[in-house]
Amino acid sequence: MSGRITEILRDSVNDVWNRIFNHPFVTELFSGSLPIEKFKFYVIQDYNYLLTLTRCQAIIASKFEDPAIMRKILELALADVSTELENYNKLLSVLGLRLDDVIKAKPSPTNTAYMNFLLTTCSLGSPYEGLVSILPCYWTYLEIAKYHADKLSNNPVKVYRDWASVYLSPEYAGIVNDLRGIIDGASDYLMKDVNRLMSIFRQASIYEYMFWDMAYRQEQWAL
């Protein structure tokens, strides 16, 4: 087994990622046929998820000795709590949602499980295990946007087009490449734990699929 470790991780989850690319929520979002209530549900859940993702990035950064890597991850966390969440504030306004209502919304069962998985992995695992656990979130969005890019020109829903265009930007691709670069920079060191990293990467990828499915079903707690 050789090559950059993120390529190995990616190749190990082709089956899961293909399911993500072709999930009804994703295909309908890019074509413009997704019911807006499903998208609103997704946005509310994703906003709360992003707060947890930012906490995870801070935890990961604190575990690195290399100040350059620490700074890169903290810059990513800062981007999430400033730029990305600010974009969400604008999106909420377009959708007729209030920030207070979104913050108070209870995370769904799937969202709760995913956030707990990330927090546990980032808190108890190595910094590289933490990075591997958050990578599918960033990377799948880039690949989803590329996979369905040709649908956007005929998408009649402006809010969907605007949302998707973020993940087709060079800036977003740069974020994904930066994350991959940190992990790949330690490929020789990490190869001894590749099976463990593959397991984490696959679990996070499955949670990504489940997140889309949760949003499509507008999942609620049984009680």
Residue 147 lies in a domain: yes
Q: What is the pLDDT of residues 94-142, one digit of tens each?
A: 999 988 889 889 999 999 999 999 999 999 999 999 999 999 999 999 9
Residue 223 lies in a domain: no
Pick the closest to residue 7 from 130, 199, 184 (CA basis): 184
| pLDDT in the model for residue 78 | 84
The beta strand positions in 9-94, using DSSP E, are none
Site of tokens 């909420």 = 92
Q: What pTM was computed for the model? A: 0.95
Residue 34 lies in a domain: yes
Q: In CATH, what number is assigned to the domain containing residue 127?
A: 1.20.910.10
Pick the closest to residue 211 from 109, 119, 89, 64 (CA basis): 109
Listed as ranges, residues in the chain with pLDDT below 50 are: 1-2
DSSP 83: I
CA distance 171 to 190: 27
Residue 73 lies in a domain: yes
| pLDDT in the model for residue 1 | 40
- Domain with 123, as residue range(s), is 5-217
Residue 63 lies in a domain: yes
Residue 165 lies in a domain: yes
Q: Distance of CA 21 to CAs 47, 80, 146, 149, 152, Å?
A: 21, 24, 10, 12, 15
> How many other CB atoms are there within 10 angstroms of residue 78's CB atom?
14
Residue 222 lies in a domain: no
Number of domains in the chain: 1
| pLDDT in the model for residue 86 | 74
Chain centroid, CA 120 distance in Å:
17
| pLDDT in the model for residue 82 | 73
CA distance 114 to 112: 5
| pLDDT in the model for residue 140 | 98
